[in-house]
Amino acid sequence: MLSYRHAFHAGNHADVLKHAIVVQLLQYLGKKDKAYWYIDTHAGAGAYALREGYATKNAEFDTGIGKLWGRSDLPPMLSDYVDEVAALNPDGNLRFYPGSPYLAWRLMREQDRMRLFELHSTEIDVLRHRFHDAGRRVMIYAGDGFDGIKPLLPPPPRRALVLIDPSYEDKRDYSRTIKCVEDGLQRFATGTYAVWYPQVTRPESQRFPEQLKRLQDKNWLHVSLSVKRPPHDGFGLFGSGMFIVNPPYTLVAALKETMPWLVRTLGEDDGAQFKLESRGD
C-alpha cells in the first residue's frame, strides 16, 4: 500500500532471512560468466538509515542485523550477508542497512542488469537518486511490479532472479503474488522466483506456503523462521518465510547449517523455530 515504508522495519529478523537468501541466490547466478537480470517487484528505497528517521521508531534492526553485527561465529551463509551489510558501513558502525536493490547492485557484474519497480512516490525518488549514475544497467519503473514484470519475461539472457516481496498490508497481495509467480513461470519457466512473506495470524498468511507449493510439482524450496510464539491478540509479526521456485542446488545445505543458528540467536521465546522443506527435480 502507498502508506507502507519499509524503513520502519529495516534490518529486522525478516530482513535477515530474506537478504541472506538473496545474497546466496545472486552469488550463485554470478558463478557463470553469462549475464543475468535481477528483477524486483517492490524495490523500496534501496537502502536505509538506522540511526535516524523511521528506523529509530521501533529500532527493529536490534532484533535482526544488530544481533549478528560483530559476531565471529557466523555460519558461512550469514557471513556472506553481513559482509555485504558491512560494505555500506565501512567505519564498522552499523548506521545503514542495504535493501535488496543495493545488495543486487553490489553483486552485479558489468554484463548483468537490474530492473526495479516501486509505487511509493517518495521511495522511488530516493531509489532513483541512489542509482542516478548507473546508466541502462539499472532501469527503475514507477508502478505496480506485479503487472510490470510481464513484459520483461523472459529476459534476454534467459537467466534471472525475480524477487517478489510486497508488504502484504493489503490481503490481496497474497493472491496477486501467487498469480505473479504463475504468470512468470508460463513466460519464463527456468527463472528463479523468490517470494518473501510475513508470518502473521491472518489466514491468508497461514495457507500461503501450501498455495505456493501447488504452482510447481517439483524444484522448489520453502524456509521459515519464527522468532517467537504467535501473539495472543493476533497482531504483529512473529516470523517470516521465503519460498523459492527453481532454487540453486546449494541452498538447502546452506540453510540446514544456518537456520538452527538463527533460531538460537534471533529467537525471543520458546516459540522460536524454523521449517525447511524442499522438492528437487
Q: Choose, from 165, 170, 183, 269, the residue flagged as catalytic.
A: 165
Q: Which three cell numbers stand for residue 270?
A: 520458546
Identity of residue 198: P
Cβ neighbours of residue 12 closer than 8 Å, sequence gap 6 or more: 60, 61, 63, 64, 237
Give the E-state strand segments of 61-190 in sequence order: 96-98, 113-118, 138-142, 160-164
165 is catalytic: yes
H or E element at residue 197: strand 192-199
Task: Name the one residue in this structure whose C-alpha cell is 527463472.
Answer: 191
Identity of residue 24: Q
Query: What is d(CA 104, CA 27) in angstroms, rounded to the nearest whole number?
Result: 9
Query: What is d(CA 90, CA 83) in angstroms, rounded to the nearest whole number?
Result: 10
Q: Which three cell numbers stand for residue 48?
A: 536505509
Beta-carbon neighbour count of residue 11 at 10 Å? 28
Query: What is d(CA 267, CA 122) in angstroms, rounded to the nearest whole number?
Result: 34
CA of residue 9 relative to chain centroid, distance: 13
Phi then psi for residue 84, to 5 deg, are -70, -35
* Residues recognised as catalytic: 165
